[in-house]
Amino acid sequence: MTEQTLFSPYTLGKLTLANRVVLAPLTRNRAGQGFVPSEFAATYYSQRASAGLLISEATQISRQGQGYQDTPGIYTPAQIDGWRGVTDAVHAKGGIIFLQLWHVGRVSHVDLQENGVAPVAPSALRAATKVFVNNHFEDVSEPRALDISELPGIVNDFRQAAANAIAAGFDGVEIHGANGYLLDQFLKDNSNLRTDAYGGSIENRARLLLDVTAAVVSEIGADRTGVRLSPVSPANGVSSSDPQAQFDYLVEQLDALGVVYLHVVEGATGGPRDVAPFNFAALRQRFKNTYIANNGYDLDLATSRLAEDQADLIAFGRPFIGNPDLVERLKRGAPLSAFNPATLYGGGAAGYIDYPTLAESSVSAS
């Protein structure tokens, strides 16, 4: 295969993607009042609509699910209407977009929770991490352990959020089961000390993610449901003593549910790919549908992984921030622009929708 494989069309369920480049979810903390996508969000996503698939920033399924200030939700009519403006803009450019469904669990702060209550978690263990709140990063708050009677309500919140996403015009949803957030907290045995049906064995620790996935599939269909996983990422203080066995089992169950894709963070989220031993090829072998590879990919690595049939689609994250036309730049082998880290989280248009395309840069330089 040639490097053009990255730029060839791909069939994802019932959808035809223009290429195999995926915009990975990127938290930008720019939602407006009521956690509604900002007026600039439609522009931001439509600027990047040349990617074969866009996956939205992580979007909380409920007020309880929020862990950072100014992140959008998908649980009120106003939020649905706000997202509809985004999907309309993306579709007008010929793009395809999924919404990432998010519950942060213990990665939150009392100032973000309704009435200042404690965040929730599988077990009452505080994460060694920080969240963006009150316009700066602060240590997370002490969580409380969820009672087993509360878990059906969380499953239903995911199901309803998926329905809301389709009502907002999204082509599908991605369940966020990665990066140390609630579903990943249940999966990993350093954050899940439960002794009930949702703790202990690998089957029990996978139960909540599988319950959520089954509920979402029943609501919107397996062909519109993807799942994101991070088997060995230490993000937000989670770890597993048995990651291979845990995720081999989990992926077999997700395959049985027929979800349209797995989106896998290979290594530490935003960090080294070789952070811990893990056979990612074993996940691909257990899953018959689309495998999206994520973490530290550039053109050369993407090209080689596609040529070796180690992935079907390749997700790019931060390179998309400063390069709204990343697909075109990769295709031409053009240099990539850096982004401004000072405007990564929060703010307005600056550092969000004002990065020039390659064509715009050429005009301004002439």
Any catalytic annotation for residue 291? Answer: no
State the DSSP code for 213: H
Go through 23-40 and write b for each residue having 16 or more CB atoms within 10 A of its CB, e for each that does not.
bbbbbbbbbeeebbbbeb
The two three-digit tokens of residue 66, written as one number: 């929020």
Question: Residue 352 and residue 326: Cα distance in Å, rounded?
Answer: 15
Question: Residue 248 and residue 262: Cα distance in Å, rounded?
Answer: 13
First CA to last CA across the chain, in angstroms?
37
Q: Indicate the helix (H) or strand (E) that contains 105.
A: none
Q: Indicate the helix (H) or strand (E) that contains 309.
A: none
Write down the residue that tokens 């959520």 correspond to: 212
Residue among 44, 75, 181, 352 flagged as catalytic: 181
CB contact at 8 A, 332 and 357 = no
CA dihedral 34, 177, 187, 309 (to 10 degrees): -170
Name residues whose C-beta falls within 8 Å of residue 147's C-beta, 6 or more positions apart in sequence: none
User: Which three-class secondary structure state does DSSP give residue 270?
Assistant: coil
Residues taking part in catalysis: 181
